[in-house]
Structure 1
Amino acid sequence: MRMSVRHQLFGVSLAGLLLVTGVNAAIACDCMRLDLPSRVRLSDVVLVGETLTFIRFSEARFRVIESFKGEPNAEIRVTISGSDCDYFVPPAEPRIGQRFVIFGTRTGARDTITASRCLG
């Protein structure tokens, strides 16, 4: 049975669409949803912080209101690399004064952490 040119073009278009959407899904952040004890265990720092400054795709600084794990300074810097897995990328952009529970991983300096969507 011969396929018409129209059906062949449809098949090629559909395959192209699946390829493109498959690539986008692979690029997006992919992590398992963790329960609270696992998120705490995998974090170096767990705290409530109030937003002091925010520079889109660069960093956010927070005043530590309460610390539950780790010994953060009075202020903490959260680096933002622009990865889909970073916590503070659109649509989650903090406003000055807004408070967050932050599950962070140390990246070197004592006052610098990363926060990913995987940890919450």
Structure 2
Amino acid sequence: MTDILTALFESGKEPDDESQLITIADLRKNGPNLHDFMRFSKWEGADVKTPVLQYVVQNGVFWVKLSDHERQRTFSTECTGILAGVKAIENHIVQGAISNMWRPWNIPGKNGSKGKKRS
């Protein structure tokens, strides 16, 4: 399957009807490519799980994370706030670098992995 985010950057297509898609003004202004990626609900005519954009404070560090549920991977960036994180992710998309920066999810039994043991 073609990388959805790379395909969006290289040759994105406008959906036939955007009236049902949510528009987030700040995200559209500061991260237009990320905004379009977040709005995907179909890919090549098939329904897909929409990506999740979230922030996390862990061990005193602020992170913005983009999770691609369809491809079971996450991209995280350490930043000073949500807007800085959005701009960092957008920058990686525009540079075409994000394709190599995703971290795959560690799912037990997937691709022969055992997953993490819980204590």
TM-score bracket, normalised by the shorter chain, equals: under 0.3
TM-score where L is the length of structure 2: 0.25
Relative contact order: is structure 1 or structure 2 higher (C-alpha 8 Å, sep ≥ 6)?
1
Q: Please say which structure displays the higher CA radius of gyration.
A: 1
Higher strand content, 1 or 2: 1
TM-score where L is the length of structure 1: 0.25
Higher helix content, 1 or 2: 2
